[in-house]
Amino acid sequence: MFERHQGGDEAILVCLDFGEADFADSQEEFIELVKSAGVHPLAVIQGKRQRPDPAYFCGSGKADEIAEAVLAHDAGLVIFNHQLSPGQERNLESKVKCRVLDRTTLILDIFAQRARTSEGKLQVELAQLAHIQTRLIRGWTHLERQKGGVGLRGPGETQLETDRRLIGIRVKRLKDQLLIVQKQRATQRKRRDRSGQFTVSIVGYTNAGKSTLFNALTKAKLYAADQLFATLDTTSRKLYIDADHSVVISDTVGFIRDLPHTLVAAFRATLEETIEADVLLHVVDINHSMRDLQISEVNKVLTEIGAEHIPQLMVFNKIDQRDLAAEVERDEYGSIRSVKLSALRGEGLNLLREALVEAMNQTVKEDK
Ligand SMILES: Nc1nc2c(ncn2[C@@H]2O[C@H](COP(=O)(O)OP(=O)(O)OP(=O)(O)O)[C@@H](O)[C@H]2O)c(=O)[nH]1
Ligand SMILES: [Mg+2]
């Protein structure tokens, strides 16, 4: 039940077109996501639907098409760019005769591969267990009435109860461990709060260039890579902007469309830095075809974690790819709205530093 697919897997991908304008882009993002998980895509199967109804794939026609592709490519895996109900997943598995994953499981899997710190690992495992738990409850209800059993089962326990109980024990242990880590984090934060430090959190869609920007500003050497979810843990550094100004700046996990809710919940702790930041640097890949959608997805997650009220400074990154000039854009009241820059080339970093100083001077720090 806890096994994950190994690197080097090959998969058939399935995308449904619900009539979105950006279907081609979202399909491309899905392929990137699959590759990020270390899986090699063999073929993409599409389907057109009026409304989100993945159930249609369980109907024989489309399932047959998928099964044929599995045979033709000798694939060991089928991945859907949608959330599937546990029932649909099982149904499809029996029809296509190989393992079926949905988008949520895929994202959880990438997170599990990437988590580095103990806190990150704990959070991902918690999210995975939460995901499995919902599957147990919804998917295995037919087992509920079966009594008896051997091995780990307690007297009179059904398999379902046993699984739930074991997961429950593990979840409790993980939560206890997380609590300890979070307390340490809170202590660190309090120490910083007392020193009246201005805090800045870098947020944005995955692969926008957050870590590259963090590194460029702080001369740190965080992992930045052309893959989705390169960063999973929050890292904070003190950044001296000029003789009179310093801030604590944090790099954070990237957001993505349909981020599993269990994961958002699990990462709320990591993102506490974000919730308590004085200013958010919202990094955007200026060249991305889904740029506007990415911005609104990030804002959606920010709302979910209760960070929608924090002032945002938009950072339009990667201007070097289009030969754009670094510049600052102001709103009608003269406040800085966005900075265009290249984190990779370092162009426009000075403008950002100046913008940060301005933001600091504008923000009256509340007494905490
Ligand atoms: N051309 C160009 N590429 C950039 C720039 N900034 C970042 N990149 C590239 O974009 C890719 C992603 O950069 P990261 O800094 O890892 O992005 P991130 O937002 O931290 O991504 P996650 O941690 O996965 O959410 C890397 O290949 C970077 O080299 C830029 O200003 N110009
Ligand atoms: Mg990163």
Domain span at residue 290 reads 189-362
Distance CA 340, CA 217 (A): 15
Same-domain check for residues 139 and 195: no
Number of domains in the chain: 3
* Residues 249 and 212 grouped into a single domain: yes
Find the residues whose C-beta lies inside 6 A of ligand 1: 204, 206-212, 224-226, 228-231, 254, 317-318, 320-321, 342-344
215 Cα nearest atom in ligand 1: 15
| CATH (domain of 78) | 3.40.50.11060
Local structure of 55: helix, strand or coil:
helix
CATH number of the domain to which 219 belongs:
3.40.50.300
* pLDDT tens column, 108-143: 888 888 777 778 888 888 888 888 777 665 444 444
Q: What CA dihedral angle connects 23, 24, 27 and 32, to 10 degrees?
A: -140
| Closest residue to atom 10 of ligand 1, CA basis | 209
Q: Which two tokens stand for residue 58?
A: 């369980």
Rounded CA gap, 139 and 118, in Å? Answer: 31
Same-domain check for residues 132 and 46? no
**Alpha carbon 313 to its chain's center:** 21
Percent of the chain with pLDDT over 70: 84
25 and 155 together in one domain: no
ipTM for the assembly: 0.99
- Ligand 1 mean position to 228 CA, how many Å? 10
pLDDT in tens, the chain (368 residues): 223 444 468 899 988 887 777 788 888 989 988 988 889 999 999 888 776 666 676 676 788 999 999 999 999 899 999 888 888 888 888 889 888 888 888 888 888 887 777 788 888 888 888 887 776 654 444 444 444 444 444 556 666 777 778 888 888 998 898 888 878 877 877 776 667 789 999 999 999 999 999 999 998 777 777 777 777 677 888 899 988 888 989 988 888 887 777 777 767 766 777 888 999 999 999 999 999 999 999 999 899 888 999 999 999 999 999 999 999 999 998 889 999 999 999 999 999 999 999 998 887 544 33
Residues 57 and 131 in one domain: no
- Residues at the binding site are 204-211, 229-233, 251-254, 317-320, 342-344
- For residues 290 and 338, membership in a common domain is answered with yes
Q: Based on the domain organization, do 309 and 354 belong to the same domain?
A: yes
Tens digit of pLDDT for each residue in 18-31? 777 778 888 898 99
Residue 339 domain flag: yes
Task: Write out pLDDT tens, residues 228-237.
Answer: 777 767 788 8
CA dist., res. 323 & res. 45, Å (int) = 37
Q: How far is the CA of 136 from the centre of ligand 2 (A)?
A: 33
The answer to whether residue 265 is domain-embedded is yes
